[in-house]
């Protein structure tokens, strides 16, 4: 799945088990964020989804939430805040309980996103939609997963983008089976309240090869992203002042003792006592230690050594010009 307005590529199923619940990897200047897959009873890796972000999209990244092995929630700062849910649904032949459990999880994930966010849900739903259920679709009948998808979109007030644009049949299919059969299984969903801003969006299947049996489903979206706000700078205390002032040393020691000793409790662990000590030091520093003033670093060109060398060069050049004029005479 590709969301071109923010240079995002959603990966439906990752199928790689790693130690971290969420892993960040750099790939050709882009950032790949993946959730770990899990092992089934046969030992095979299942699940795990991911999202590939450009530098611009990564700079606007606000939050990454691994909802479960098949659902990843990613939010971006902007106006409005944009949230993308990447999902991989079980196949149509999976047990009814597994399908229902997945869609229940997907509902909770959607409901966890604030109502004013621009929400898109992208992924492989393994769902076929019949021509009676969708305007522009490849199939004539809706399968079980398709009915679950339609129920979800109706309940959560979502629309299916890539069934709203008329395309040739050759551009509708998104998956080719080993036997050569073609299906439309991948979709991009968006909240209905944002459909007017999506009128200029185009959802279509491309012919780009990505080393997969799925084709890329792309939507063009115009969004206003914002770069992450810089975190406030921490205060820099002038600890060197303690070395030159005995009065400051005594005052600091008294402040630490006053904050640390009265809070002593019997039965506290060494870790708890250590944390209290750190807190007492931080509070005492805030109260007593002077803060270092931030000074603008002088430019290299204003360094006295550079200035002296520049003057010597100028004097030498003047002498050279004078000697040259005398020879010409």
pLDDT for 326: 59
The pLDDT tens digits for 133-170 are 888 888 989 999 999 999 999 999 999 988 887 777 77
pLDDT for 7: 59
The pLDDT tens digits for 84-126 are 999 999 989 989 999 999 999 999 999 999 998 989 999 889 9
- pLDDT band (50, 70, 90) for residue 201: very low
Query: 203 pLDDT exceeds 60?
Result: no
Query: 61 pLDDT exceeds 50?
Result: yes
The pLDDT tens digits for 293-317 are 777 666 767 778 888 888 888 888 8
Residue 101 exposed, middle or buried by CB count within 10 Å (0-12, 13-18, 19+): middle
Contact 35, 14 (CB under 8 A): yes
Domain boundaries, the chain: 2-219, 241-288, 299-329
The pLDDT tens digits for 267-280 are 778 888 888 888 88
Query: 202 pLDDT exceeds 50?
Result: no
Sequence-distant (≥ 6) Cβ neighbours of residue 288 within 8 angstroms: 248, 251, 252, 255
The superfamily CATH assigns to domain 2-219 is Endonuclease/exonuclease/phosphatase (3.60.10.10)
d(CA 39, CA 47): 9
d(CA 84, CA 100): 22
d(CA 107, CA 93): 21
- pLDDT band (50, 70, 90) for residue 13: low
Q: What percent of the chain has pLDDT over 90?
A: 20
């Amino acid at each position: 799945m590709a969301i071109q307005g923010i240079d995002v590529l959603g990966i439906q199923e990752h199928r790689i088990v790693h130690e971290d619940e969420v892993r960040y990897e750099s790939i050709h200047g882009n950032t790949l964020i993946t959730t770990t897959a899990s092992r089934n009873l046969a030992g095979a890796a299942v699940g795990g989804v991911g999202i590939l972000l450009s530098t611009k999209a990564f700079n606007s990244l606000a939050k990454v939430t691994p909802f479960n092995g098949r659902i990843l929630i990613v939010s971006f700062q902007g106006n409005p805040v944009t949230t993308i849910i990447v999902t991989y649904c079980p196949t149509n032949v999976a047990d009814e309980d597994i399908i229902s459990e997945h869609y229940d999880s997907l509902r909770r994930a959607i409901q966890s996103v604030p109502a004013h966010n621009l929400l898109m849900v992208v992924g492989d739903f393994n769902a076929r939609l019949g021509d009676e259920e969708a305007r522009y679709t490849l199939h004539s009948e809706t399968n079980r997963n398709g009915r679950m998808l339609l129920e979800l979109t109706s309940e959560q007030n979502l629309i299916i983008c890539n069934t709203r644009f008329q395309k040739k049949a050759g551009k509708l299919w998104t998956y080719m089976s080993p036997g050569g059969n073609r299906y439309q299984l991948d979709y991009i969903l968006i909240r209905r309240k944002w459909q007017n801003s999506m009128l200029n969006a185009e959802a279509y299947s491309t012919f780009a090869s990505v080393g997969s049996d799925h084709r890329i489903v792309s939507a063009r979206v115009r969004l206003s992203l914002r770069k992450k706000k810089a975190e406030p700078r921490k205060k820099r205390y002038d600890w060197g002042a303690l070395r030159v002032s005995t009065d400051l040393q005594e005052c600091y020691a008294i402040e630490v003792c006053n904050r640390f000793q009265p809070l002593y409790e019997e039965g506290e662990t060494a870790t708890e006592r250590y944390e209290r000590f750190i807190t007492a030091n931080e509070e005492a520093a805030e109260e007593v230690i002077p803060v270092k003033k931030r000074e603008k670093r002088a430019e290299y060109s204003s360094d006295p050594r550079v200035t002296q060398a520049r003057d010597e060069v100028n004097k030498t050049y003047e002498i050279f010009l004078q000697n040259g004029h005398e020879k010409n005479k």
